[in-house]
Structures are given as structure tokens and as C-alpha cells.
Amino acid sequence: MRDLILEACKAHEGVLETPAPSLTLEGIENGLLIFQAIAYVASPRLAGGVRSDLLFTILDALRQADLPMATPTLVMAAAPTAPSALSTAPSPVPSSPASPLPGVQG
């Protein structure tokens, strides 16, 4: 996993060589490994596009390496509504834990 993510960072033309990209294992939650990758770009304006590119590249590499991916779970929560208030009731809001990179089952 470490080599796969770092190689994706090093191969991207928008990622600076110095300081070098780094990867840390931030934790293990419910059998999921939580990683944090840090890579530097020349301008803050480039960060979003480079991040997106890297995530797509990493997802493809995980699939090619046959590494298991966690299945996201959604928790639906809705406020109770009175029968007369059905037209103004809020919609259920999905929520899921956030992580800098997709979780991988360990």
C-alpha cells in the first residue's frame, strides 16, 4: 500500500520532488487502515486538481493490485414528522466518516 501511494505521488507531474511526498498510517478503525499522504505542489490553486488526479490513480492501482476496498456505509437520519407537516419535513441526510484517502481493509 505504501509503495503504491508514494509511487502515484512521485509519478504525478504536478507533485514537487522536494519536499518528497510522505505517507503515514494514521490509525486503524474497525479493521480499516487510515492513511495520510502529503505531497507538495507549486501553487495552492493546483492542489485540488492534483489531489483528484492522485485519488483516481490510487483507486485504479488498488484495483489492479487486487487489494480489498472497504464498502462505504450510509447512515440515514430523519427528524420525526407530524402527518400535517409531510410537505415541509427535511430530507434524510446521509453521513459517513471522512478520511483523507479511501480506507482499505486490513
Q: List pLDDT tens digits, range 44-54.
A: 999 999 999 99
Res. 35 pLDDT band, cuts 50 70 90: very high
Report pLDDT digits (tens) over 66-90. 988 887 776 767 666 665 545 554 5
For residue 93, CA distances in Å to 70, 77, 85, 89 come to 21, 6, 18, 12
At residue 99, the pLDDT reads 41
Which positions ≥6 away from 83 have C-beta within 8 Å?
none
Q: Is the peptide bond before 21 cis (omega within 30 degrees of 0)?
A: no
Please answer whether residues 72 and 59 qualify as being in contact, where contact means their C-beta atoms are separated by less than 8 angstroms. Answer: no
